[in-house]
Amino acid sequence: MNIMGALQDVWNYQLGTGGPKVWEVAQFVLIIVAAIVIARVIRTNIRRIMKERVPKNTLSNMEKLVYYTIVFVGFVIAMSTIGFSLSGLLVAGGIMGIVIGFASQTVVSNLISGLFLIIEKPIKIGDGVNIDDVAGIVEDVRILSTTIRTYDGIYTRLPNEKVFSSNIQNYVAHGARRFSYSVGIRYRDDADQAKEIITNLLESHPLVLKNPAPQVFVEELGNSSVNLKVRMWAPSTHWYGVYTEMLWKIKVALEKEGIQIPFPQRVVWFADTLKGDITTDRQA
Amino acid sequence: MFGTYNLDVHLEEEGIELRVEGTGRRRRYYRKAGGEEVEKVVYADRAKLIVCPVEPVNVPDTTISEHLLTELTTPAVIASGSRDTFYVKFPVEIGVFVVDSRDVERIDIFTKTQPKYTLYGPPERGIVCKWWKSDLYMEEPEVDRLFEGVMQVDVKNDYYQWMELHHVVFWAFDMKIFYNRHAFMHAHLTIQKRTIGETSFITHKPKNMHKAVDIYQAKGLKKLKEKYVMEWGFQ
């Protein structure tokens, strides 16, 4: 009887004057936990069902919207159990918002930048990008920050304000991209033949696009070589593989046909004819 | 080569070898085509093997493109308001599926053709397409059936001017492939404006033909739209 009575006293104990009772606080915590659990279950199911049907970026935004809406609704319901009405909460929230806004301008700035990033969509999850000299794959675009996995595999978090105000290079925003090489051949080699060999090689590669057509032309008559410019387009999602593959293939194809890539060389002319026979000297 | 087989099949045709060996639940799938060899272990109680043509956008990589651009060797000039039918060839990709009463699973896709890609539209907004060049035929052409298929194209020019057609773009999600001796598709092209047209595929199964396995349907990917809008012209 005493134990039960004590428990009941604790259960009904009022926290502070006019404050909520212990059971009300327990109810508050329970509702919040339930809301989070429900939100997670629904988020997981949305991910499972929609994973192959909607783009990754849309799915991520959808998940976040559903998750935070459920948690917010749970929070509002939970607040009413400890005596806070929704209208009171909104008024308090408004005042608190102003206070917090002044106190944390950076957070608000990141938040607004995040919203603009989600609306404007200069980057999407999975895109290869370079933002503020951080190059890598976009892992997530959150409300306050954007996370990037660099090509070295390093997790990098960028505040959204920085992302929004930086120059963003999105390597896969367009379907195709162009890249180029400079290839030097000897002056004695036939540049037209070299152009034909390279063009045929590019034609035979599946991922070097047919249109826009690759370009091969003499770019410069250099000190030691005739420099050819080789330009090609490839699908943005696969360009790097082509880029790393083709230069060596060009070199091998040219050499197979007797066209060589020369070493730097310099012809030296003497003002006076050399005295003495070098050949004779050597023999001597 | 095309057809439905038990899991003890051995096929050889035009440099392609395909076989399933073993007994009981564990079988070994082996395929050789060109210089490429593929081996997989298949665990199945009761299953069949389907070998059929699939949407020609999967080799060398399924993620590169979902569209096929057929470039015509001879452009077609089409009068305003006219309708006509012509035939083109398309590259054949051969899909191998295991199927039981519950599910279909793709285990292999290969081709004898040399894949090539192109950009349809401007670099900033265009799409990467699988590229194929074909003559334009007035009657159904003969084909090397493991290399090329036949596509019948019904064209309609709704634009008020003559139009010159150099290429047509098709969306793989929408393709309906049939086969008997060779692969076959029946497409429709409507020219709406100078740079806008619509391509779609006819679902009706031709007589004496089998319907090929639809990869997208097999994977439960719903087709939200059944047409492709060519936005960047026909030249």
Whether B126 sits inside 8 A of A175 (CB atoms) is yes
Please list every residue in chain A whose beta carbon sits closer than 8 Å to the beta carbon of residue B65: 235
Q: Classify residue B194: in a domain, yes or no.
A: yes
Interface touch B114/A206, C-beta < 8 Å:
yes
What's the average model confidence in pLDDT over B82-110? 91
Q: What is the reported pLDDT for B174?
A: 82
- In this prediction, residues A6-27 reach a mean pLDDT of 80
- Its pTM stands at 0.75
Higher-confidence position of A100 and A69 = A69
The pLDDT confidence band at residue B130, using thresholds 50, 70 and 90, is very high
* Among B73, B146, B76, B152, residue whose Cα is nearest residue B110: B146
Cβ A53–B222 below 8 Å, yes or no? yes
ipTM, two decimals, is: 0.88
**Alpha-carbon distance values, B18 to A224, A280, B4, B40, B136 (Å):** 54, 73, 13, 12, 33
Assess whether pLDDT exceeds 60 at residue A231. yes
What pLDDT score was predicted for residue A86? 67
What letter does residue B223 receive in the DSSP assignment? -
Question: Which residues sit opposite B91 in a β-bridge?
Answer: B148
Residue A83 has pLDDT above 80, yes or no: no
- On whether residue B124 sits in a domain, the answer given is yes
Domains of chain A: 2-103 (1.10.287.1260), 123-170 (2.30.30.60), 176-256 (3.30.70.100)
Question: Looking at the complex, does the CB of residue A211 fall below 8 Å from at least one CB of chain B?
Answer: yes
Cα–Cα distances in Å, from A19 out to A2, A78, B55? 26, 15, 68
B72 found inside a domain: yes
Contacts 24+ apart (CB under 8 A), A16-23: A20/A81, A20/A82, A20/A83
pLDDT of residue A111: 81
Tell me the per-residue pLDDT of A267-278, one tens digit each, with 9 for 90 and over.
Answer: 788 777 666 665
Tell me the three state secondary structure of residue B108: strand
pLDDT tens digits, B183-226: 999 999 999 998 899 999 988 888 888 988 887 766 665 555 67
Residue B130 has a CB neighbour count (10 Å cut-off) of 28
User: Looking at this protein, which amino acid is placed at residue B128?
Assistant: V
Which residue's structure tokens are 């059971």?
A: A23
Q: What pLDDT sits at residue B224?
A: 59
How far apart CA A214 and CA A230 sit, in angstroms, is: 7
Indicate the length of chain A as a whole number: 284
Answer yes or no: is pLDDT of A100 > 80.
no
pLDDT given for residue A43 in this prediction: 87
Closest CA to B97 of B109, B106, B84, B86: B106
CA-to-CA distance for A235 and A228, rounded, in angstroms? 23
pLDDT digits (tens, 9 = 90+) for B155-182: 999 999 999 999 999 998 888 999 998 9
Q: Is the pLDDT of residue A1 over 60?
A: no
Number of domains in chain B: 1
For the purposes of burial, counting CB atoms within 10 Å of the CB of A103, is it exposed (0-12), middle (13-18) or buried (19 or more)?
exposed
From A228's Cα to the closest Cα of chain B, the distance in A is 24
Residues of A in contact with B128 (CB under 8 A): 175-176, 209, 235
For the stretch B24-81, pLDDT in tens is 888 899 999 878 899 999 888 788 899 999 999 988 888 899 999 999 999 999 999 9
Nearest CA in chain A to B116: A206
d(CA B224, CA B228): 11
pLDDT at A244: 94
Would B116 be classed as within a structural domain?
yes
Tokens 């299953």 sit at which residue?
Answer: B47
**Does some domain include residue B17?**
yes
User: Cα–Cα–Cα angle for B225, B229, B232, nearest 5°?
Assistant: 155
Q: How far is A240 from chain B (nearest CA, A)?
A: 13
Q: Is B199 exposed, middle or buried (CB count within 10 Å of its CB: 0-12, 13-18, 19+)?
A: buried
Those of residues 240-259 in A touching chain B at CB distance below 8 A are none
3-state secondary structure chain A: CHHHHHHHHHHCCECCCCCCEHHHHHHHHHHHHHHHHHHHHHHHHHHHHHCCCCCHHHHHHHHHHHHHHHHHHHHHHHHHHCCCCHHHHHHHHHHHHHHHHHHCHHHHHHHHHHHHHHHHCCCCCCCEEEECCEEEEEEEECCCEEEEEECCCCEEEEEHHHHHHCCEEECCCCCEEEEEEEEEECCCCCHHHHHHHHHHHHHHCCCCCCCCCCEEEEEEECCCCEEEEEEEEEECCCHHHHHHHHHHHHHHHHHHCCCCCCCCCCCCCCCCCCCCCHHHHHHC
pLDDT the model gives residue A277: 61
Given a contact cutoff of 8 angstroms between Cβ atoms, the answer to whether A247 and A181 are in contact is yes
Residue whose pair of structure tokens reads 């699908």 in the numeric block: A235
Task: List CB contacts (< 8 A) between A212 and chain B.
Answer: 119, 123
Q: Kind and range of the H or E element at B217?
A: helix B215-218
Say if A55 is an interface residue toward chain B (CB within 8 Å). Answer: no
Tell me whether residue B9 is in a domain.
Answer: yes
Average pLDDT over residues B81-93: 94
Distance CA B183, CA B148 (A): 8
User: Taking the CA of residue B142 as centre, how many other CA atoms within 13 Å lie in the half-sphere pointing to its CB?
Assistant: 0
* pLDDT tens for each residue of A151-207: 999 999 999 989 989 999 998 899 999 999 999 999 999 999 999 999 999 999 999
C-alpha distances (whole Å) from A218 to each of A195, A203, A205, A232, A249 are 9, 19, 22, 15, 19
Q: What is the mean pLDDT of chain B?
A: 90
User: Mean pLDDT across the stretch A92-121?
Assistant: 76
Note whether B31 and B38 are within 8 A (CB): yes
In a domain, B14, yes or no: yes
Tell me which residue range forms the domain holding B38.
Answer: 3-230
Res A284 pLDDT > 50: no
Q: Is the dihedral of CA B142, B69, B55, A237 positive or negative?
A: positive
Q: Say which residues have a Cβ less than 8 Å from residue B196's Cβ, sequence separation at least 6.
A: B229, B230, B231
With respect to residue B235, please indicate whether it lies within any of the assigned structural domains.
no
